[in-house]
Amino acid sequence: MALHVELVAADQAVWTGEAKMVVAKTVEGEIGLLPGHEPMLAILGSGEVRITLEGGEVIKASAEDGFLSVEKDVVTVVARHAALI
């Protein structure tokens, strides 16, 4: 079981793929998302998004001014500014 992750900036798609975990900073604090997570919508805080792939590799991106949604193992991060770091 995996998450389908889409990280999108206002002007471009930054990263899309399958992952086993996503950690992001929201305005209420850091949140970790695993397959089977309840549907949710959160406002992003400025900070790092960490995407852990099935093999253990971690992709890091900066993201700010946007939102994060989870529904049916699809995690969508939409930010005004986002880039891989």
pLDDT for 35-84, tens place per residue? Answer: 999 999 999 999 999 999 999 999 999 999 999 999 999 999 999 999 99
Instruction: Please give the pLDDT value at position 1.
Output: 87
Per CATH, the architecture of 3-84 is what? Sandwich (2.60)
Indicate the domain borders of the chain. Answer: 3-84
pLDDT for 7-39, tens place per residue? Answer: 999 999 999 999 999 999 999 999 999 999 999
pTM of the model: 0.94
Residue 63 burial class via C-beta count within 10 angstroms: exposed 0-12, middle 13-18, buried 19 and up? buried
